[in-house]
Amino acid sequence: MNALIRYFPTVDYSPCWQAMRALTDHRGDDTEDELWVLEHPPVFTLGQAGKPEHVLNPGDIPVVNSDRGGQVTYHGPGQTVIYLMLDIKRIGLGSRGLVTAIEDSIIEFLNDQGINAASRDDAPGVYVNGAKIASLGLRIRRGATYHGLAINRDMDLSPWQRINPCGHVGQPMTTLRALGVTLEREETEQQLVTVLAKRLGLTPRTAPLPDWYNSPSTLSAG
């Protein structure tokens, strides 16, 4: 199965979210799956189960109420986000199977960098020695998924101290750079996409940026 891979520079969270939802609402049985690979400007997002009390001190960073699963998380420069717009019936995975496949893909990528990582039954994501390096949050709608994963490459971790990450008080965070991985952004993203596509049974094909990204409301984002 083909999957279109779209590599964005930086894009604001809200228009990206609306575009993901629109693609999901209008897709048909023959619509190709897509992966959007990008960075967001600083933003906190609250999932559907998100409790406002887990946002401790947002300061000048905006807080967006999102329709993904999970609690509160942070996106910002130096973090790679991969959104997965997938027909899960066609792929042959349920929601739990998809989460496991994504986590295992990240663990495989980290293992390729010489890092021993693991998932947790009680908290989605990927962890290295107890510190969280990757977060997950998905939404299933009309038999398809959107939202996805975020992995910390070389980001400022101080904003995480303004929240309880994913609802866990005092959860330590880490980055690829802190663990000695010096891959550039492009190489990191390409390797992650390759591992994800293989595990999900997808044939990746790089595609241009969509029309919505070049609209006046998003020109300032990238």
- Is residue 74 part of an annotated ligand binding site? yes
Cβ contacts of 157-161, under 8 Å, gap ≥ 24: 159/42, 159/44, 159/61, 159/74, 159/76, 160/74, 161/56
- Is residue 70 part of an annotated ligand binding site? yes
16 is catalytic: no
> Strands 33-39 and 2-10, how do they pair?
parallel
Cα separation, 83 vs 2, whole angstroms:
16
- Is residue 150 part of an annotated ligand binding site? yes
Quote the Cα angle for 99-6-139, to 5°: 30
Cα separation, 152 vs 42, whole angstroms:
13
- Is residue 135 part of an annotated ligand binding site? yes
Cα separation, 119 vs 75, whole angstroms:
20
166, 173, 193, 221: which one is catalytic? Answer: 166
Quote the Cα angle for 158-159-163, to 5°: 120
- Is residue 168 part of an annotated ligand binding site? no
Which amino acid, one-letter code, is at 69? G
Return the SS3 of 140.
strand
Known binding residues: 68-75, 135-137, 148-150
**Active-site residue numbers?**
166
Known binding residues for substrate: 68-75, 135-137, 148-150
